[in-house]
Amino acid sequence: MSVTMDDSIKRWTSKQKSAFVVEIMQGKTPVADTSRSFDL
């Protein structure tokens, strides 16, 4: 994922949320892999 999450961040910014969704929709990142990497 191009937008990285710092371990100390507890809340996502709207920019991070948007990048997450866009990458999934474009097929760049599988949902399962991304969700697992961020404990979602």
CB-based contacts of 6: which residues, under 8 Å, 6+ apart?
A: none
Cα 10 versus chain centre, distance: 13
The pLDDT of residue 12 is 81
Q: What pLDDT digit, counting tens, does each position of 1-40 carry?
A: 455 555 565 688 888 888 888 888 988 888 888 777 767 7
Q: Measured at the alpha carbon of residue 33, what is the angle toward residues 6 and 8, in degrees to the nearest 5?
A: 15
Please indicate, yes or no, if residue 19 is contained in any of the structural domains.
yes
Q: What is the count of structural domains for the chain?
A: 1
Please indicate, yes or no, if residue 26 is contained in any of the structural domains.
yes
Please indicate, yes or no, if residue 39 is contained in any of the structural domains.
yes
Please indicate, yes or no, if residue 37 is contained in any of the structural domains.
yes
Distance CA 12, CA 21 (A): 12
- Asked whether the whole model's pTM tops 0.85, one would answer no
Please indicate, yes or no, if residue 27 is contained in any of the structural domains.
yes
Please indicate, yes or no, if residue 34 is contained in any of the structural domains.
yes
Pure H helices in 1-40: 14-25, 31-37
User: Which residue carries 């474009």 as its tokens?
Assistant: 26
Residue 36 structural domain: 14-40
